[in-house]
Amino acid sequence: MLENKNDQRTPISDLGEFGLIDHLTKGISTIHSDTIKGIGDDAAVLKMNKNEVQVVTTDLLLEGVHFDLAYMPLKHLGYKAVVVNLSDVCAMNAQPKQITVSIAVSNRFTVEAIEELYEGIKLACQKYQVDLVGGDTTSSTTGLVISITALGTCLSGDVIYRSGAKVNDLLVISGDIGAAYLGLQVLEREKQVFAVNPKAQPDLEPYHYLVERQLKPEARTDIIKLLADLKVKPTAMIDISDGLSSEILHLSKASKVGCSIYEDKLPLDPQVITTCEELNLDSTTIALSGGEDYELLFTIDQKDFDTIKGNPNLTIIGHICAPEGGINLITRAQSQIPIIARGWNPLKNETHD
Amino acid sequence: MLENKNDQRTPISDLGEFGLIDHLTKGISTIHSDTIKGIGDDAAVLKMNKNEVQVVTTDLLLEGVHFDLAYMPLKHLGYKAVVVNLSDVCAMNAQPKQITVSIAVSNRFTVEAIEELYEGIKLACQKYQVDLVGGDTTSSTTGLVISITALGTCLSGDVIYRSGAKVNDLLVISGDIGAAYLGLQVLEREKQVFAVNPKAQPDLEPYHYLVERQLKPEARTDIIKLLADLKVKPTAMIDISDGLSSEILHLSKASKVGCSIYEDKLPLDPQVITTCEELNLDSTTIALSGGEDYELLFTIDQKDFDTIKGNPNLTIIGHICAPEGGINLITRAQSQIPIIARGWNPLKNETHD
């Protein structure tokens, strides 16, 4: 009925998620003086008052793309949907305060199923002391859609961007990495087993930590508090939900620097190591590209080294260098390999180079 | 694989959209002192600083539920998706300042198609002087999903809730109503004609206003400015996107009042009247239940009558009465008919009683 004026037909997969965002938001500028930071970080930053800024972030989760209800209980899904947004608030060094929750549901969901989802949402709100202040509820012709916006605040001088890393800063990561991805692999395997034999009783105990990291991740508000207590203000910060390799590239690009990450410093849980062996996967690759670990990656000035070193929640994994140095992994054998983004790309539906 | 612990299976259609929201958000309270108003109005209200509050609202739009790309050009869709959120900001008497935009797209969309969508989004941002500050871009296994969150500000004393209407206040509506719904009917009819004969050239000229109201609605920021200029502060306000009958019930319920609306006062465009005749529809029913007119419904104290009357942008359609009086339409024949919500309900997929 309407004429198609587009002669050009470029598949979205040509650009991928970040390419598409860059392409669409190219040249967008802001006009309000209280818009301090627009597109390009974990969250936007708005001026609230003389002393405080507000951060705003939003995430869209679709059934069949971001989650599979075959092994993701609705209550966990609700909890996780909140957490992934709070993690972005943390990555700005802010305290989460409010969320809005929009959902679209098809008629295959019952009221009781949506209650389960909301139980998880409310549980996360309670745990993280966040107010659920609004949203939208509508129908979907197919699967479940969840869109959450999270708001938080921090003192004006405390907000941390991706762009502040300086040459010789140290690269620090909270917690450990790779577990959430392996948790997903284990659950996917059980789903296949179940498809063949619905009476099979899965023994997930050896993978308990991995499965928990996948199904019930936490946002590192505790790390924000720890850093404040230690009086360490990172120079740059990002959450590593899309995988360490992808996020280190974002941070380095935004800060216009290079960096070296040491393979032997990557923090891995013992279950990650044993499960990688079992599944014949390279644990370094998993740690670099796994994704869905809602940990924080940040840079600190060398003067803070003594305060950070030895803290069981934090691991120094490398350092920032000049941009000419590139972004490299220093292997156990002391060889230097350029890091490329291999995180999961929902717009290419495959890992990407 | 996972045991279903839900024995009860209540279809969502039993509750409908507003019933489900009420059910899920029952008992939700807020803990942060800067959360002034949570769920239950057109937008949440947060404290920004000593003088100002921030309003936050979000809407989720799904292909096949909220729009049909057969007659909705992507550029118009982008524009409209922004406008529907800004309308909710207006309904709080606030000025829109920022939006975030999340989209999920399937691989049947090209980069050029998404560019079109963003052209419309950017156009709306430009027209309404709103900053696009963030969002999320991901893939969809089926149709297009758009989730927008809008933020705005107003002076602390100027924010208007649904709950402030008082007995004897006058009911006022901006613009005219019923046109957007008829625009949709006309477009649906053309779609059917096109399905039968793809060479048919639609003559939409007689329905120009109706189609424009459907495809390119505007948010009434001008009315917010007009009221400020006239120094009239409404006692209660709501946007009537879900249809006048549904919204008057929301306003009356929140304000714990009744009201009378006069059939002969309902502001109708001549095209609405002629098209209702042509399609054999009752224009009062369309005006009451049509929906998608992004106009404002508000109440004013009687002392403001002289300031409002005769303004071409505003129509006094009735007045507020005691709750015992009920919520009624006074027909041209002077009979009194209780108003029931017949707005479109996306969770029942039909008009509802």
Query: CB distance B28–A132 less than 8 Å?
Result: yes
Q: Residue holding tokens 């006069």? A: B262
Query: CB distance A151–B190 less than 8 Å?
Result: no
According to CATH, the superfamily of the domain at A32-158 is PurM-like, N-terminal domain (3.30.1330.10)
CA distance B266 to B248: 13
Calculate the alpha carbon distances from B338 to B163, B166, B179, B318, B326 in Å. 21, 20, 23, 14, 7
Residues 6+ apart with CB under 8 A from B10: A110, A111, A112
Which pLDDT does position B159 carry in this prediction? 98
pLDDT digits (tens, 9 = 90+) for B274-300: 999 999 999 999 999 999 999 999 999
Residues of A in contact with B15 (CB under 8 A): 111
Which pLDDT does position A347 carry in this prediction? 62
Query: CB distance A149–B97 less than 8 Å?
Result: no
Q: Does B353 score more than 50 pLDDT?
A: no
The stretch B151-166 carries a mean pLDDT of 97
Question: Is the separation of the CB atoms in A223 and A160 below 8 Å?
Answer: no
Could you tell me if residue B256 is left (phi over 0), alpha (psi between -120 and 50 degrees) or otherwise beta? Answer: left
Nearest CA in chain A to B73: A2
Which pLDDT does position A340 carry in this prediction? 85
Calculate the alpha carbon distances from B316 to A93, B39, B335 in Å. 50, 29, 19
> b or e along A27-55 (b: 16 or more beta carbons within 10 Å of the residue's beta carbon)?
ebebebebbbbbbbbbbbbbbbbeebbbb
Return the ∠ at Cα B224 (arms to B220 and B227), rounded to 5°: 130
Instruction: Report the percent of chain B where pLDDT is more than 90.
Output: 81
Residues of B in contact with A17 (CB under 8 A): 137-139
CA distance A352 to B313: 54
pLDDT band at B178 (very low <50, low <70, confident <90, very high): very high
Highest mean pLDDT out of A4-18, B63-77, B160-174, B335-349: B160-174
Query: CB distance B111–A39 less than 8 Å?
Result: no
Nearest CA in chain B to A118: B24
- CA dihedral for B325, B329, B332, B336, sign (positive or negative): negative
pLDDT digits (tens, 9 = 90+) for B197-256: 888 777 888 999 999 999 999 999 999 999 999 999 999 999 999 999 999 999 999 999
Residue ranges of alpha helices (H) inside B104-207 are 111-127, 179-196
How does DSSP assign B54-78, residue by residue?
EEEEEEEEEBTTTB-TTTS-HHHHH
CATH 3.30.1330.10 is held by the domain B30-158: yes
Which pLDDT does position A201 carry in this prediction? 78
Nearest CA in chain A to B345: A138
Query: CB distance A10–B110 less than 8 Å?
Result: yes
Count of alpha carbons within 13 Å of A145, Cβ hemisphere only?
A: 33
Mean pLDDT over the full length of chain B: 92
Domain range A162-351, CATH architecture: Alpha-Beta Complex (3.90)
**DSSP strand pairing (B314-321 vs B170-174):** antiparallel
Residue A44's beta-bridge partner residues? Answer: A56
- Given strand B44-47, what is the order of strands in its sheet? B35-37, B44-47, B52-62, B145-155, B95-105, B131-139
Residues 6+ apart with CB under 8 A from A244: A173, A177, A261, A266, A287, A288, A289, A290, A297
Size of interface A-B (CB pairs under 8 A): 277
Residue at A251: amino acid letter: L
Which pLDDT does position B350 carry in this prediction? 45
**DSSP strand pairing (A327-330 vs A258-262):** parallel
Q: Does B2 score more than 60 pLDDT?
A: no
Residues 6+ apart with CB under 8 A from A278: none
Q: Residues in chain A with pLDDT < 50?
A: 1, 3, 349-353
Query: CB distance B107–A191 less than 8 Å?
Result: no
Domain ranges of chain A: 32-158, 162-351
**Tokens for A226?**
């720890």
Q: Does B346 score more than 80 pLDDT?
A: no
Q: Does B349 score more than 80 pLDDT?
A: no
Roughly what angle, to the nearest 10 degrees, separates helices B16-25 and A111-127? Answer: 40
The stretch B109-121 carries a mean pLDDT of 95
Residue at A261: amino acid letter: I
Residues of B in contact with A60 (CB under 8 A): 102-104, 136, 138, 145, 147
How does DSSP assign A325-346, residue by residue?
G-EEEE-TTS-EEE----SEET
Which pLDDT does position B194 carry in this prediction? 84
Which pLDDT does position A107 carry in this prediction? 87
Which pLDDT does position B129 carry in this prediction? 97
pLDDT digits (tens, 9 = 90+) for B304-341: 999 999 899 999 999 999 999 999 999 999 999 999 87
Residues of A in contact with B51 (CB under 8 A): none
Question: Is the separation of the CB atoms in B206 and B189 below 8 Å?
Answer: no
Q: What is the 3-state secondary structure (H, E, C) of A70-122?
A: CCCCHHHHHHHHHHHHHHHHHCCCCEEEEEEEEEEECCCCEHHHHHHHHHHHH
Residues in chain A: 353
Residues 6+ apart with CB under 8 A from A175: A220, A267, A293, A295, A313
**Tokens for B116?**
């079109």
